[in-house]
Amino acid sequence: MFAALFIAIGLIAGLSISSRFDFQTTSLGQDTKISQDSIDMLTKTNKAMAEVVRAVKPAIVNISSTKTIKTQPMQNPFFNDPFFRNFFGNEFGNMNAPREYKQSGTGSGVIIDKNGTILTNNHVIKDADEIKVKLSDKREFKGKVVGTDPKTDIAVVKIEAANLPMLPIGDSDKLMVGETAIAIGNPFGLNQTVTSGIISATGRANVGIADYEDFIQTDAPINPGNSGGALVNVRGELIGINTAIFSTSGGYQGIGFAIPSNMAKAVMDTLVKNGKIIRGWLGVSIQPVTPELAKQFGLKEERGALVGDIVSDSPAEKAGMQKGDVIIAYEGKEVNEPSALRTIVANTTPGKEVSLTLLRDGREIKVKAVIAELTAEAAKQSADFENNLKGVHVQELTADVKNSLDLPKRVSGVVITDIDPGSPSEGVLAKGDVIVEVNKKQITSAKEYVAEVAKIKSGKSILLLIYRNGSTIYMTLS
């Protein structure tokens, strides 16, 4: 309706201007010609794009989910009062009972094998009581969740079917900025919608969507409902799972994000094989290289991940890594920031030997480390707490660190080196804050900090004593 109105207004405006200025519109058509070579080239391009779309569309499905929402009852003591209930009736007593209602949502998914394994986003099927999968040929199946990983926003769903159309998985590590990308999904419930654009960027992190981020950015239009759909290349290969958009209006504004196919495949494989997520662990506390730190450590560039601490008996310690090392490459892949390294390590299979390139005292050296499994205890030492200090990275207050921060000798504790986007502490704590106490327990080392914070359960308030701007202050994270 709105599009038609827009076109109509354009036609009316055109007629009005033409009558006043008497443009010679026919001469434009006579003088301007399109060469046959141009027509042939564009026709081939159009045909090629249509072929790719025709090949991949059958493997894109619509996913609808239903979940039960429980509302809190109205707590009013009058409803339980016998006099009140006798006077007004017993129906008021029912207002104290919890109520339930069904909430529905829609998204997209990608069939990646002929027997009905489907990749989608975790947020598409999160807490669903019932999942329905609708294929391109209108058939509907009941979906069963194989496994989910909220930290990457990936989920694997299975339907009981055979000989289904499927998408081959491409190598997202080989993507180049500027190459063509095609997004297919079900935005606003409009099944099998196709949009195209280019790869705008790769390796996008610190977006605040998931814990482990290595997003592909694209300008192929993505809208609500595209979540879980496919981003494909010109070879018809899956290169990403469409996940989110950057928007101030709720609609498409030219920036969309997709989870790289290599990350999605790694998560899917471990979920299918092990029934749970298994991640790699190096055993280092890392932080960004700021201009000040680059100057302190004699670095020419502000790149890589600065090692602030090393966990005892970890792969990093066994490999001979040291505090103050700057990790600039992992398996030959350049490391520009800590979040990128964290994601790469997490996606590495435990037991694999990897090569790391370090900067140490102005020299470039290489070491080899055997990646271990990220256990619950190791996760706590890597700021992966399940409480309000989740995503807060800290470092020991060594003599060098104290000098660089110009801290008085009396100050002890751990200094905050980084705070992940989306952390409950974001906007409250800040880089450079020194945590002196946690719940009135004095902190003198990173080990004490980890031990104390690990005791705090999710949802519990945390009382901190912070040293900031020359004085100590109490803060509550609730």
* pLDDT tens figures, 231-254: 999 999 999 999 987 766 666 677
Q: What is the pLDDT of residue 30?
A: 55
* pLDDT tens figures, 172-188: 999 999 999 999 998 88
Q: What is the mean pLDDT of residues 100-129?
A: 90
172, 196, 227, 285: which is the annotated catalytic residue? Answer: 227
Instruction: Place 25 in a pLDDT band, splitting at 50, 70 and 90.
Output: very low
64, 65, 108, 123: which is the annotated catalytic residue? Answer: 123
Instruction: Place 3 in a pLDDT band, splitting at 50, 70 and 90.
Output: very low
Structure token digits, residue 327: 């990790």
* pLDDT tens figures, 36-82: 998 999 899 899 899 999 999 999 999 998 888 776 655 555 555 66
Query: b vs e for 7-30, b when ≥16 Cβ sit within 10 Å of the residue's Cβ?
Result: eeeeeeeeeeeeeeeeeeeeeeee
* pLDDT tens figures, 119-131: 999 999 998 899 9
Q: What is the pLDDT of residue 78?
A: 53
Q: What is the pLDDT of residue 262?
A: 94
What are the residue ranges spanned by the domains of the chain? 59-274, 280-377, 385-477
Q: What is the mean pLDDT of residues 436-442?
A: 91
Three-class DSSP labels, the chain: CHHHHHHHHHHHHHHHHHHHHCCCHHHHHHHCCCCHHHHHHHHHHHHHHHHHHHHHHHHEEEEEEEEEEEECCCCCHHHHCHHHHHHHCHHHHHHHCCEEEEEEEEEEEEECCCCCEEEEEHHHHCCCCEEEEECCCCCEEECEEEEEECCCCEEEEECCCCCCCCCCECCHHHCCCCCEEEEEECHHHCCCEEEEEEEEEEEECCCCCCCCCCEEEECCCCCCCCCCCEEECCCCCEEEEEEEECCCCCCCCCCEEEEEHHHHHHHHHHHHHHCCCCCEECCEEEEECCHHHHHHCCCCCCCCEEEEEECCCCHHHHCCCCCCCEEEEECCEECCCHHHHHHHHHCCCCCCEEEEEEEECCEEEEEEEECEECCHHHHHHCCCCCCCCCCEEEEECCHHHHHHHCCCCCCCCEEEEEECCCCCCECCECCCCEEEEECCEECCCHHHHHHHHCCCCCCCCEEEEEEECCEEEEEEEC
Q: Which residue has the higher pLDDT, 341 or 7?
A: 341
Check pLDDT > 70 for residue 155.
Answer: yes
Q: What is the pLDDT of residue 353?
A: 96
Q: What is the pLDDT of residue 54?
A: 93
Mean pLDDT, the chain, as a whole number? 82
What CATH number was assigned to the domain covering residues 59-274? 2.40.10.120
State in words which class domain 385-477 has: mainly beta
Check pLDDT > 80 for residue 424.
Answer: yes
Q: What is the pLDDT of residue 382?
A: 60
Q: What is the mean pLDDT of residues 276-288?
A: 87
Q: How many CA atoms lie within 13 A of 110 on its CB side?
A: 33
Q: What percentage of the chain reaches a pLDDT higher than 70?
A: 84
Instruction: Place 276 in a pLDDT band, splitting at 50, 70 and 90.
Output: confident
Check pLDDT > 50 for residue 28.
Answer: no
149, 153, 309, 420: which is the annotated catalytic residue? Answer: 153
Q: What is the pLDDT of residue 189?
A: 74
* pLDDT tens figures, 351-398: 999 999 999 988 899 999 999 988 766 665 566 677 888 888 887 787
Q: What percentage of the chain reaches a pLDDT higher than 90?
A: 38
- The CA distance from 238 to 172, in Å, is 9
Q: Give catalytic status of residue 153 as yes or no.
A: yes
* Shared fold status for 280-377 and 385-477: yes
Q: What is the pLDDT of residue 234?
A: 94
State in words which class domain 280-377 has: mainly beta
- The CA distance from 230 to 249, in Å, is 23
Q: What is the pLDDT of residue 63?
A: 94
